[in-house]
Amino acid sequence: MLWTNYFIPTVKETPHDAVVPSHVLMIRAGMLRQIVAGAYAYLPLGYRVLQKVTNIIREEMNAAGAIELNMPAMHPIELWEESGRVEAMGATLIRLNDQPWRRGTVLGPTHEEIITDIARSYISSYKQLPINLYQIQTKFRDEQRPKSGVLRTREFLMKDAYSFDIDKAGLDVSYDKMYAAYCRMFERCGLPYTAVEAESGPIGGDASHEFMVVTDAGEDYLVRAADGSYAANLERAEMLPVPDAGRDAPADVAEVHTPGLSTIEQVSRFLKCEPSDMIKTIIFQHTEGLLVALVRGDHEVNELKLARVAEVKGLEAATQEQIEKLTGAAVGFAGPVGMEARVVADQAVTVMHNAVTGANKTDHHITGVNVGRDFTIKESADIRYAVEGDKAANGSDLIFEKCIEVGHVFKLGTKYSDSMNATFLDKNGSARKFIMGCYGIGANRIVAAAIESFNDESGICWPINIAPFAVHICALDLRDENVTATAKRLHDELESAGIDVLLDDRDARPGFKFKDADLIGCPIRLTVGKRGLDEGIVELKLRSGSDVEKIAPDEVLSKVRSAIKSLAG
């Protein structure tokens, strides 16, 4: 490809609204343009990378036995109501209400309902199972704060696959195939990924794993044991129980006037205690009533853990009116003493002594609170997020790293086949529910994660398999016929050998061309100039290194092939 025949609108200045490296460099390298908040146009260079990513995904999915199809972005909301996920997805669902015929439709953020409807319509016998159907499709989510370029958008490209099996043993086989395929995909894309245990969230299911790429630009957290024995995302991370400190004898309970002081920080400062000495009482509502969660003052409730432990659906924060009715006090003064509701306490609360908590009385707290004497804990479990200082189950320190989620696999079980009555006939002629799995990959996120992982002060350093071009030829001194002819001959020779090559044939200064070459980040750069050709050489340099190799033009093809093989691992 000749630069003058292509479209690469590079930008020298850093965009004012771009913060993370992937966003900055995709704009500067002429790969991307924002059309509206949360939606981007992929310009030709960026689209080449995205296509290479999706080609790798498609090849590995096909090799794993999955079958590609295409489903619509517009869904009838009746299917979402049938699965019971309208409330679970909440404001994420983009509803189309501007015309009468569209008032019953949403733009799909995911496709579990659609694929389950397809399966129950066409798969009637166990003889048709197992099967795994996938698509690479645009998704839509009503992201309230789109940011970080393509990492958080309202419109994005995703590969989602859905397996249907006869039983859980079959699901385990399908799940393991997808897990292995995902590992191959990320390895081929050159990503330094980590697979971790994860929460299933609104997708649902019994077990899941996320594939993470560690980077400061990420908005998720990976939690791992320092000895490498354990890894999970922050929502799933489990920790060693907090030990009982064995403090002094129980103090007397005392009510303290705390006017207008309703936060942990305000009260702990006023009473000259630590946040860890306080019990935080959080009130939630769900489909069947109210639920009260107790955590230590320096901890936060993990709503996914809480919902799983309490076995409730539709968990969300209680309203001000609900809180005031339950506690008899303003928001911020709730406490477990005398609480008439279902209460689930975090394990750390069970070993607290002489604690401070709300008095269920406006502008008042109580001190000297002890479990067993002043209130009873009937239900306790791990319902909080892990924090610095926690340890893994084996005692190893937990380490927290920011990361990008690039893939997620779920064991759905019968979550959707139950709610949508999706059945098949087994070998005995009995109706059975499909056992399902779900497997998602964010194609846009792979592109961004690669840039976040491989960049320097000059630009992008692409992994070889997803680079827009493997080789970038910088032709200098274009008024010299030998330079022009040699550069074009090398371009044609490499292209004929099936190697992606970009020839910068612009009439521009060498420094200008080199800066653009570093910015767009093709893995191999060839420099063809008059001085070098007078010496019988051209220069080969890897984007990821600093050494320059001088080689004869006739050696270029073999040297480039060798470099590609080395870079591909």
Task: Assess contact for 171 and 121: CB atoms under 8 A.
Answer: no
Q: Would you call the peptide bond into 241 cis, given omega within 30 degrees of 0 as the criterion?
A: no
Q: What is the pLDDT of residue 103?
A: 75
Tokens, residue 81: 């109501």
Closest to 47 (Cα-Cα) out of 32, 35, 25, 57:
32
Closest to 551 (Cα-Cα) out of 565, 536, 564, 562:
536
**Lowest-pLDDT range, 83-87, 405-409, 432-436, 480-484?**
83-87
> Can you list the domains of the chain with their CATH numbers?
11-191+413-451 (3.30.930.10), 254-381 (3.90.960.10), 469-568 (3.40.50.800)
Closest to 305 (Cα-Cα) out of 254, 234, 257:
234
Task: Assess contact for 276 and 267: CB atoms under 8 A.
Answer: no
- d(CA 217, CA 214) in angstroms, rounded, equals 9
What confidence category does residue 140 fall into, taking pLDDT thresholds of 50, 70 and 90? very high
Q: Which residue has the tokens 């790798």?
A: 56
> Is pLDDT of 245 > 90?
no
> Measured in whole angstroms, how far is the alpha carbon of residue 164 from the centre of its chain?
24
> Is pLDDT of 202 > 60?
no
**CA–CA distances in Å: residue 533 to residues 33, 481, 485, 554:** 39, 11, 11, 12
Phi, psi of 195 (to 5 degrees): -95, 130
Over residues 74-86, the mean pLDDT reads: 92
Which own/partner contact pairs does 125-129 have at CB distance under 8 Å and 24+ positions apart? 125/424, 125/425, 126/166, 126/424, 126/425, 126/426, 126/427, 126/432, 128/424, 129/164, 129/165, 129/166, 129/170, 129/424, 129/434
Share of the chain above pLDDT 70, in %: 98
**Residue pLDDT, tens place only, 290-305:** 999 999 999 999 999 9
Positions of E strands within 166-315:
193-197, 207-214, 220-225, 231-233, 254-257, 279-286, 289-296
**CA–CA distances in Å: residue 478 to residues 158, 489, 526, 550, 554:** 43, 14, 15, 20, 20
Amino acid identity for residue 340 in this structure:
E
Q: Identify the DSSP state of 513.
A: H
Task: Count the neighbouring beta carbons within 10 Å of the beta carbon of residue 274.
Answer: 13
Number of H helices, E strands in the chain: 15, 31
> Is pLDDT of 83 > 80?
yes
**Residue pLDDT, tens place only, 423-435:** 999 999 999 999 9
